[in-house]
Amino acid sequence: MAKIALITGATSGIGEACAHLFAREKYDLILTGRRGDRLEKLAKKLNAKYNVEIAVSQFDVRSMAEVADNLDGLPAKWKKVNVLINNAGLSQGLDPIDKGSLDDWDTMIDTNIKGLLYVSKIVSNWMIKNGQGHIINIGSIAGKEVYPNGNVYCASKHAVDALNKGMRLDLLPHGIKVTAIHPGAVETEFSEVRFKGDKERAKKVYEGFEPLVADDIAETIWFVVSRPKHVNINDMVVMPTAQANAVTIFRS
């Protein structure tokens, strides 16, 4: 029987790259995200190219009701998940604390922290029943450091760092592996989302240096997942060579 990976935020960027890589490695996939058209297109493409089975599950991770309806509603065979990639996440705005938008704060906290918790609660129960599993939490360099105007996004990713440690403790008796991957700058739709569709501003983030691409992170995740059973990588910080820390980028 093929192994199964559930990827949140598979419609774009790192999640989409993971879908390609895990399909190439013959995993069956549960692909999730809000943009159903993209999920369907990706599923068709991967099925044709790699002949793997794919379940598309369209939901907003911010709603526990949507998460539960969609995940609980999957046929039993899909609940034998081997790998959960908690990737869905976003940043909204880049404002000092006194000027921040309450909507932006809610969106980041509800997506990056609560959404990750909702999915993890359901899938960790499946993994406990199955007696195995590996949860990969996508944090960020923003979960290790705080940068000016990053306040709430950084706080949400520090929470992911803490939850990663907490999950590992709680799931230890069940033999479930838990890993966080903390990337620096990866060129995806991330900055376009942060700057609410301002493509010019988003482009500037990656100018004058070579950022990571989504495949770099997918390959790192594959390395972590493909270690022997007795080896767990607790966390990894993965940066572009030109980026020394959250705020120091060498631009030409």
Q: Using an 8 Å Cβ cutoff, are 194 and 94 in contact? A: yes
85 binds ligand NDP (CB under 6 A): no
Binder to ligand NDP among 35, 44, 49, 77 (CB under 6 A)?
A: 35
By the 10 Å C-beta count (0-12 exposed, 13-18 middle, 19+ buried), 163 is classed as: buried
219 binds ligand NDP (CB under 6 A): no
156 binds ligand 8X3 (CB under 6 A): no
Nearer to ligand NDP, 129 or 203 (CB): 203
Comparing C-alpha atoms, which of 176, 181, 175, 139 is closest to residue 158?
139
Type and span of the H or E element at 41: helix 36-50
CB atoms under 10 Å from CB of 234, counted, come to 12
Nearer to ligand 8X3, 133 or 139 (CB): 139
Q: What sign results for the dihedral spanned by CA atoms 144, 149, 151, 153?
A: negative
- Report the nearest approach of ligand 8X3 to the CB of residue 157 (Å): 6
d(Cα 102, Cα 92) in Å, to the nearest integer?
11
114 binds ligand NDP (CB under 6 A): no
d(Cα 32, Cα 58) in Å, to the nearest integer?
5
Binder to ligand NDP among 5, 29, 88, 159 (CB under 6 A)?
A: 88
Binder to ligand 8X3 among 6, 141, 176, 214 (CB under 6 A)?
A: 141
- Name the segment binding ligand 8X3 (CB under 6 A); options: 14-22, 38-46, 59-67, 137-145: 137-145
- Report the nearest approach of ligand NDP to the CB of residue 116 (Å): 8
Partner in contact with 246, chosen from ligand 8X3, ligand NDP, none, beta carbon below 5 to 8 Å by kind: ligand 8X3
Binder to ligand NDP among 4, 6, 12, 81 (CB under 6 A)?
A: 12
- The 3-state DSSP class for residue 56 equals strand
CB atoms under 10 Å from CB of 8, counted, come to 29
Q: Helices 36-50 and 13-24: crossing angle, nearest 10°?
A: 20
End-to-end CA distance of the chain: 50
Binder to ligand NDP among 193, 213, 237, 242 (CB under 6 A)?
A: 193
33 binds ligand NDP (CB under 6 A): yes
Q: What is the CA radius of gyration of the chain?
A: 17
27 among known catalytic residues:
no
- The 3-state DSSP class for residue 243 equals strand
Nearer to ligand NDP, 74 or 128 (CB): 74
150 binds ligand NDP (CB under 6 A): no
d(Cα 245, Cα 242) in Å, to the nearest integer?
9
- Catalytic center residues: 153
Q: Using CB under 6 A as the criterion, which residues of the chain lie in contact with ligand 8X3 when the complex forms?
A: 140-142, 150, 185, 246
Residues that bind ligand NDP (CB under 6 A): 8-15, 33-35, 60-62, 87-90, 111, 115, 138, 140, 183, 185-186, 188-190, 193, 214
